[in-house]
Amino acid sequence: MRKVVGLILLLVLVAFLVWGVLLIHPFGYPPSDMDDYIIDNAQEQTANNNVVASVVFDYRGFDTLGEATILFTAVTGVLLLLRTLKRREESS
């Protein structure tokens, strides 16, 4: 019974994912001016050969700041949680 339910859920998930993949836009569509602008101007404006790095750290720097904040929060949470557990064990 559990196997049948699991199989049905798996098939539903696979169908959902395939549906999502089929609905995806073709590569490079819709065309936008932003990527052309970045490709044309990144080397002059950021003095950077690696355009990906210039997008990540310069044009979309805010995004990287959020990413760094996520990592910081995760590390803080793990250290805090493990320390709390240790103290509770000592007190009990």
Partner 1 sequence: MLSKIVRTVANQLIVFILIFGLYVIAHGHLTPGGGFQGGAVIVSGVVMLLVAFSSKELKKSLRERVLSIMESTGALIFVALAFAGIGTAFFYNLLVGTPIFGRIPAPGPNPGDFWTGGVIPLMNLAVGLKVVAGLSAVVLALALFASGEEVEE
Report, in Å, the least distance between residue 16 CB and partner 1: 30
Q: Does 66 bind partner 1 (CB under 8 A)?
A: no
- Positions in 23-62 near partner 1 (CB under 8 A): 43-50, 52-54, 56-58, 61-62
The two three-digit tokens of residue 74, written as one number: 């995760």
Report, in Å, the least distance between residue 51 CB and partner 1: 10
Q: What CA–CA distance (Å, rounded) separates 53 from 24? A: 26
Q: Answer whether 54's CB lies under 8 Å from 46's CB.
A: yes
Question: How many chain residues touch partner 1 (CB under 8 A)?
Answer: 30
Q: Which of 31, 28, 58 is closest to 43 using CA atoms? A: 58
Decide whether 10 or 68 has the Cβ nearer to partner 1: 68
CA dihedral 24, 32, 52, 76 (to 10 degrees): -60
Applying CB under 8 A, which residues contact partner 1? Answer: 43-50, 52-54, 56-58, 61-62, 64-65, 67-68, 71-72, 74-75, 78-79, 82-83, 85-86
